[in-house]
Amino acid sequence: MTVYMTKLVKRCAHLLLCGVLLVTSLPATANTEDEPGTWEMAADAVVARPIGAAMTVVGAVAFVASLPFSLLGGNVDEAAEKLVVDPAKAAFVRCLGCKNTGRYQDEPED
């Protein structure tokens, strides 16, 4: 390797290391409150909700396909909960941009 290539490899390694350190520090600066911002709401509406709806359909198909085995095993309720109900709650019963499943409720004022 030439001297130029060695310097280039070192610089690329330094940039990669800086990028990794920057990306790993981002979750620490994330908003810890459950009040979503504009971009979170937009991403949820455009990306997460359609994926959640598709996962609900895929889960329903998987539930129907596994129904004979669930009936024999006696765990139809658990299979329905995990394959259909949980994805449906995440897709449809969650405030826009929120991370927690369930309806948005303001905290009561004291």
Mean pLDDT score, 84-102: 86
Give the model confidence (pLDDT) of 57-81 as tens digits.
999 999 999 999 999 999 999 999 9
Give the model confidence (pLDDT) of 30-39 as tens digits.
555 567 888 8
41, 42, 47, 49 alpha-carbon torsion, rounded to 10°: 50
Q: Which two tokens stand for residue 51?
A: 């994926």
Q: Would you kindly state where each structural domain of the chain is located, as residue ranges?
A: 37-97
